[in-house]
Amino acid sequence: MTTILLTIHIMIAVALVGVVLLQRSEGGALGIGGGGGGGFMTARGTANLLTRVTAILAAIFFLTSIGLAILAGNGRQAPSIVDEVIQSTPVIPEIPTVPTEQ
């Protein structure tokens, strides 16, 4: 189960990076998407689509991250300091001594 979830998580991370790089940047740095008009979609339609895809991939990324964290912690019991002290000290009952008269 962990291997399947981890594989899906990595594929989502790669897709998320790709979608973010496709978006048009306002500074003109790495924005590959966009370009001239006359294409399949307008610039605004492409931006809306890429924004929605980014939001969906980000939500799935968070869900798979939480799932992996739960699977990693499954089966482990959080140690309690009080329980460790109680288990490490032996319980020896004190026998009351009665003073003897001489």
In the chain, the percentage of residues whose pLDDT exceeds 90 is: 35
Residue ranges per structural domain of the chain: 1-26+43-73
pTM of the model: 0.59
Return the amino acid letter for 87: Q
Whether the Cβ atoms of residue 52 and residue 23 lie closer than 8 Å to each other: no
Whether the Cβ atoms of residue 67 and residue 5 lie closer than 8 Å to each other: yes
pLDDT tens digits for range 27-75: 554 555 555 544 555 666 767 888 899 999 999 999 999 999 999 887 7
Separation of alpha carbons 41 and 45, rounded Å: 6
